[in-house]
Amino acid sequence: MIKTITEEKVDIESDLESQLLLHNDDHNSFEHVEDCLIKVCKHTSEQAQQCALIVHLKGKCSVMHGPMEDLVSSANKLKSLGLSVEIV
């Protein structure tokens, strides 16, 4: 019995989803952050509260994930509202 090994190239970059990270700052209130996450990221009130608390305690939190193109608009909106975000 002879086995044939074939090499398959996979574009790993295109299969990975990007994340929108929200960073802690000293300027925005919990309420403002929660309101922004509800409005821009379509979070529920509970999700927004949890993310705001994680950001406060850990320094950052992933608030959205998906293809890079889908996150750019949300990142720009959150930045215009005074939040510190990055896409990774």
Please give the Cα distance from 11 to 13 (Å, whole number): 6
In a domain, 68, yes or no: yes
pLDDT at 56 over 60: yes
In a domain, 34, yes or no: yes
In terms of residue numbers, what domain contains 31? Answer: 17-87
Structural domains counted in the chain: 1
pTM score of the predicted model = 0.81
Mean pLDDT for the chain overall: 88
Please give the Cα distance from 62 to 51 (Å, whole number): 8
In a domain, 11, yes or no: no
Please give the Cα distance from 52 to 58 (Å, whole number): 10
pLDDT at 22 over 90: yes
Q: How confident is the model at residue 17 (pLDDT cuts 50, 70, 90)?
A: confident
Q: Above pLDDT 70, what percent of the chain?
A: 82
Which single residue is written with the structure tokens 């509260």?
49
Amino acid 3: pLDDT: 52
For residues 71 and 87, is the Cβ–Cβ distance under 8 A? yes
Q: List the CATH number of the domain containing 63.
A: 3.30.1390.10
